[in-house]
Amino acid sequence: MANEILQKARSTITAQDNTASLDETYDPNSASYTGGTPAVIDNTYDGGSENAKGADYLNLQLLVTDAPATAGGAEIWYSESEDETNYTLYKYSHTVGDAIGTTDALYYDAGVFFLKAQFTKLAVNAVSYDIVDCTLFATPKLSEVQ
């Protein structure tokens, strides 16, 4: 009898809902950062929110509902904690591969983020031009043997 390793997806998490304009001059560590409060991605099984439940990585999508007036870019930043209390400063992870265009209501592939801490927060940083309104979605993925 052979085992198969299957790709399993958990429910998609709204990692950050940015209803206020993301200012292109501020990173998530700035006191002036205008992004929405990032959700905690809980990768444990201990009775917390457990929204990632042991996932290996997150598949990210960025929905830009109100696009910038001029095409720009976006970056993904992260903060981690092992105890859900003491979070690191936000650190740059990667740049979204496509330029954020001027058309509203488009989804962009925002790459993947590998989970290495028990608790993680993800934030979007606008580059070159402000992004008026966007939402970062994270779908936890893991391998499952059957």
The DSSP secondary structure of 74-138, one letter per residue, reads: EEEEEEEESSSSSPPPPEEEEE-SS-B-S-SSEEEEEEEEE--SSEEEEEEEEESS-BSEEEEEE
Model pLDDT, residue 135: 97
Model pLDDT, residue 145: 81
**Domain range summary for the chain, segments of one domain joined by +:** 15-141
pTM (predicted TM-score): 0.93
What single-letter amino acid sits at 15? A
Q: Which residue, among 105, 115, 127, has the nearest Cα to 25 in the 3D structure?
A: 127
6-52, pLDDT tens digit by residue? 888 999 999 999 998 999 989 999 999 999 999 999 999 887 788 99
Model pLDDT, residue 4: 85
100-146, pLDDT tens digit by residue? 999 999 999 999 999 999 999 999 999 999 999 999 999 999 988 87
Position 1 pLDDT exceeds 60: no
- Taking CA atoms, 130 is separated from 31, 34, 65, 117, 120, in Å, by 17, 10, 13, 30, 25
Model pLDDT, residue 48: 74
Angle, vertex CA 33, rays to CA 27 and CA 35, nearest 5 = 100
